[in-house]
Amino acid sequence: MTTEALRAPRIATRPLRRISEKSGLDTAAGHVLMVLLSIFCLFPVYWMLASSLRPANAMFETSLVPTSMSLDNYTQAIDAIPIARMLINTLVFSVLSTVFQLLTGIIAAFAFARWKFRFDKLVYTAIALTWLVPFQVVMIPNYLLIAQMGLLDSVAALILPNLAAALAILLLAQAMRGFPREVIEAARMDGARNWRILWEVLVPNLRGTIASLAILIFISSWNEYFWPLLLSRTAENSVIQIGIQMFMTAEGNQWGPLMAASTLASLPVLLIYIVLQRQVVQSFMKSGIR
Amino acid sequence: MADLKISNVKKAYDGKPVLHGVDLSIPDSHFAVIVGPSGCGKSTLLRMIAGLEDITSGEIAIGGVVMNDIEPSDRGCAMVFQNYALYPHMSVRQNIAYPLRLAGVPVAERNVRVEQAAKILNLTDYLDRRPAQLSGGQRQRVAMGRAIVREPDVFLFDEPLSNLDALLRVQMRIEIKKLHKRLNATSIFVTHDQVEAMTLADTLIVMNGGRVEQIGSPTEIYREPASAFVAGFMGAPAMNLLPATVGADGQILLDAPGNPQGLARCALPEGSPVTLGIRPENVVLAETSGAGLPATVDLVEELGGSRVAYCNVAGHEMSVVLPASDDPLEGKPVWLTLPNQDLHLFDRISGRRLEADMTTGDKLAKREVETVA
Ligand SMILES: Nc1ncnc2c1ncn2[C@@H]1O[C@H](COP(=O)(O)OP(=O)(O)OP(=O)(O)O)[C@@H](O)[C@H]1O
Ligand SMILES: [Mg+2]
């Protein structure tokens, strides 16, 4: 027994080292590929920023760095549309959508992951199917409902259909099912009932999943265009994506203000992503426990 | 008083029976150990006691109170899980304090009790670490700490040591035994490990296929296994179990092609199929021809202090424990003597021990066993 135990690690290290030598080359190649991909992804973003700083007469310049810079586009954009108001609307819409989708998702996922009830599989499948139904199918009924409620042209109407979403429920249910059953049972024996098990045991340990889900929901809400387009009547009650679109007119596109507005629209997302990303990495590292 | 009484408890998962009616009674402050092969329902039984699993039928009572419909946390049981089941996001201190926090114990008292538990378990230096920053043995101790702060009436352990390495396992085993001496709470301990079972148990419960095979003290179970299963399961190396048939005038004949070997006599009717059992340490091996069964040594395993010879006796394998020696035995012819007082006899059909089952006369089979010269 003891001799075996002593021998085992020596045998195990040899192939391991070989793997790491080989992967040295692989990682170098991987890095090159990733750098190329990053440039590919980041270039349009850079071009947007660069163009937003070019004066109107230099808009179609192809130099990588603008030869002359001005903030004219920004002042024009701010004058043309109520950009601050729109950004606030978008923020309210995105934050509330995220918060509510997470809340409803967490609670529904707990029910699916922890309880057996009549037709539970059926309900779960039905929820999964709603995810596959294209927006175009539900937009007319949703629109009519909102109209009947007298909520057209309001931020509340934007949020209403986004209070719950299949993606959040499915993802969280999956994560909760993967959580060690024994830890939940230990909590039960310690005297925690469902509500506490959910908020004091499950949720703190699913921070990674919740944070990445929050980013996903937030960004997709921020980028929501079609639904606001359908509901909005006035710029004051609309979101920034609609605002950007206002620079694309029948008489031609106002590229400068459009790029400026786009840049302003991307800043909050970037900021939130940076903040939450730290949280994601952190919680992924912490959850390497078990 | 927290004696445990389990009456005709059955469990079925989706109609598939897993426990077929278990009866058990464990006196207050006893240390009971449940052993059995994988899948025999040990964990299921323990989880039913804890309240984590519904009871299909039957009754479980702790301290005279029927627990069937009582919440796990209100049963006065604490459980230690195999994978520790610590809360990963809480420090050791928070882990141990969690049951107290849930019970609404005031902070000051909570701290005192956590410190106390930590002291007993040598965890004082680790109180502010996360479970991820602890070794397996330390995590196991935290799990025990979380169990003992509650001052439960009954401790339930589901293979708590099986994730630890051999050395630590022995240490923790001793610690658990000491802890039991100190706290004196009724304990039920599930394990695969024979040594753990033998050393920890006041009462040993051997399970097989959803049934209790035998209940008794470790020595009782070792000396008088109630069935061929228990005989083969308890003890390492395992007891030799050889198929035999009772011949004329009660002679036990080892089943072997061609020449049945006469072994001993018993008071059983001719033709009864039996299983003859003898522990490897009781077989006497001689290298010179003479009395006993002729055999050849196939293989010898060195264990340091002793060695085990695997012999072929008329087509059956028999292991023999021998004192350490440099004498090369492999491939050699040997003669094995099976002392009468060490023989166990089982019914080959039912597997039950033949002793009480004997109806031929007032003497019991085992006492009747005589050497066939
Ligand atoms: N949730 C479940 N659903 C269906 N069958 C189950 C469930 N849990 C356990 N079983 C079955 O019940 C039987 C007993 O399982 P149990 O976990 O009690 O075995 P065990 O004796 O603890 O085994 P081990 O020593 O491997 O832990 C097994 O056959 C198992 O497949
Ligand atoms: Mg088990």
Structural contact between residues B39 and B211, judged by C-beta atoms closer than 8 angstroms = no
User: From the CA of B99, how many Å to the nearest CA of chain A?
Assistant: 5
Query: What residue's CA is closest to ligand 1, atom 7?
Result: B13
For residue range B296-329, list pLDDT tens digits in order.
999 999 888 899 999 998 888 999 999 888 788 8
- Looking at residue B358, what is its pLDDT? 33
Structural contact between residues B369 and B342, judged by C-beta atoms closer than 8 angstroms = no
- Helix axis angle for A72-80 and A255-286, nearest 10°, is 90
* Residue B209: domain span: 4-230
Tell me: do B323 and B334 sit in the same domain: yes
Structural contact between residues B292 and B337, judged by C-beta atoms closer than 8 angstroms = yes
Tell me: do B276 and B146 sit in the same domain: no
Put simply, whether B110 touches A (Cβ < 8 Å) is no
Phi–psi pair at B295, nearest 5 degrees: -150, 165
A183 and B85: CB-CB below 8 Å? yes
Q: Which of B211, B230, B249 is the last residue of a domain?
A: B230
Tell me: do B341 and B250 sit in the same domain: yes
Tell me: do B212 and B254 sit in the same domain: no
Return the CATH number at B365.
2.40.50.140
With CA atoms as reference, report the closest residue to A59 among A203, A252, A227, A202.
Answer: A252
Q: Which of B230, B246, B268 is the last residue of a domain?
A: B230
* Tally of structural domains, chain B: 2
For residue range B135-156, list pLDDT tens digits in order.
988 999 999 999 999 999 999 9
Where does A81-287 sit in CATH, by number? 1.10.3720.10
* Lowest-pLDDT choice from B14-23, B241-250, B353-362: B353-362
User: From the CA of A269, how many Å to the nearest CA of chain B?
Assistant: 29
Q: Which residues pair with A21 in a beta bridge?
A: none
In this structure, the strands spanning A248-249 and A252-253 are antiparallel
Chain B CB contacts of A206 under 8 Å are: none
Structural contact between residues B226 and B204, judged by C-beta atoms closer than 8 angstroms = no
End-to-end CA, chain A: 28
Read off the DSSP letter of residue B352: B
Tell me: do B253 and B190 sit in the same domain: no
Tell me: do B195 and B128 sit in the same domain: yes
Q: Which of B230, B255, B285 is the last residue of a domain?
A: B230
Question: What average pLDDT does chain B have?
Answer: 87
User: From the CA of B323, how many Å to the nearest CA of chain A?
Assistant: 19
Neighbours of B168 (CB within 10 A): 16
- Looking at residue B361, what is its pLDDT? 32
Q: What Å distances lie between residue A270 and A37, A277, B176, B221, CA to CA?
A: 19, 10, 55, 70
Q: How far apart are CA A29 and CA A24, in angstroms?
A: 9
Put simply, whether B152 touches A (Cβ < 8 Å) is no
Give the total residue count for chain A.
Answer: 290
Q: How far apart are CA B67 and CA B187, in angstroms?
A: 17
Point out the ligand nearest to the CA of residue B11.
1
Phi–psi pair at B91, nearest 5 degrees: -70, 170
Q: Parse chain A into domains and list their residue ranges.
A: 2-52, 81-287
Tell me: do B221 and B364 sit in the same domain: no
For residue range B204-242, list pLDDT tens digits in order.
999 999 999 999 999 999 999 999 999 999 988 899 999
Read off the DSSP letter of residue B86: -
B98 and A187: CB-CB below 8 Å? yes
- Looking at residue A16, what is its pLDDT? 47
pLDDT, block means (10 residues), chain A with 290 residues: 40 46 75 93 91 85 83 88 91 95 96 93 93 88 92 90 92 94 94 95 91 86 89 87 86 86 88 74 51
Structural contact between residues B6 and B153, judged by C-beta atoms closer than 8 angstroms = no
Tell me: do B210 and B298 sit in the same domain: no
- Looking at residue A23, what is its pLDDT? 65
Res. B290: pLDDT tops 80: no
Q: What is the 3-state secondary structure (H, E, C) of B20-85?
A: EEEEEEECCCCEEEEECCCCCCHHHHHHHHHCCCCCCEEEEEECCEECCCCCHHHCCEEEECCCCC
With CA atoms as reference, report the closest residue to B162 among B185, B195, B210, B206.
Answer: B195
CA of B57 to the centre of ligand 1 (A): 17
Which of B78, B83, B131 is the closest to A182 by Cβ?
B83
- Looking at residue B124, what is its pLDDT? 93
* Lowest-pLDDT choice from A14-28, A164-178, B6-20, B60-74: A14-28
- Looking at residue B328, what is its pLDDT? 83
Return the CATH number at B73.
3.40.50.300
Tell me, what amino acid is at A270?
Answer: L
Q: Which of B9, B11, B19, B40 to mutate to test the pocket of ligand 1 (most atoms within 8 A of CB)?
A: B40
Tell me: do B287 and B171 sit in the same domain: no
Which residues' Cβ are closer than 6 Å to ligand 1?
Answer: B 13, 18, 36, 38-44, 192
**ipTM of the complex in this document:** 0.82
Q: Which residues pair with B190 in a beta bridge?
A: B34, B158
With CA atoms as reference, report the closest residue to A204 among A117, A126, A279.
Answer: A279
Tell me: do B11 and B22 sit in the same domain: yes
- Looking at residue B241, what is its pLDDT? 93
Put simply, whether B93 touches A (Cβ < 8 Å) is no
Tell me: do B223 and B83 sit in the same domain: yes
CA of B220 to the centre of ligand 2 (A): 25
Query: What residue's CA is closest to ligand 1, atom 28?
Result: B39
Q: Compare all CA atoms of chain A with the CA of B136 and give the residue at the minimum distance.
A: A290
Which of B50, B82, B88 is the closest to A205 by Cβ?
B88
